[in-house]
Structures are given as C-alpha cells and as structure tokens.
Amino acid sequence: GLLFSALTNTCAMGMLLAKLPYNRGPECVVDDVLAQMQAPVEN
C-alpha cells in the first residue's frame, strides 16, 4: 500500500476521507458572496 502510494503520488485513504460529508466545508453561492461583498458595512 505505501509503495503504491509513493510510486503514484496518491493517497487513496486520504481521498476517501476527504469525500466524507462531515469533512466538506460549507457550500457557498457565488452570487450571495458577491452581494455580501458589495453591501455597505455598518459600524
């Protein structure tokens, strides 16, 4: 397993763990982010 990972420069376990739902960040909608950036900031 380690030899294959070293030769192919991949980590199957890492890729598998990264795809689990609790390892994903929150989704963002680009239009919402742009609207928040353009909105005036109140102090």
* pLDDT for position 39: 83
On the question of pLDDT at 43 being above 80, the answer is: no
* pLDDT for position 2: 82
* pLDDT for position 23: 76
Domain ranges of the chain: 2-38
* pLDDT for position 19: 87
Each residue's pLDDT tens digit, 1-42: 788 888 899 888 888 888 888 877 778 888 988 998 888 887
The whole-angstrom separation of Cα 27 and Cα 7 is 34
The whole-angstrom separation of Cα 39 and Cα 43 is 13
CA–CA distances in Å: residue 31 to residues 5, 6, 7, 24: 39, 41, 42, 20
* pLDDT for position 21: 83
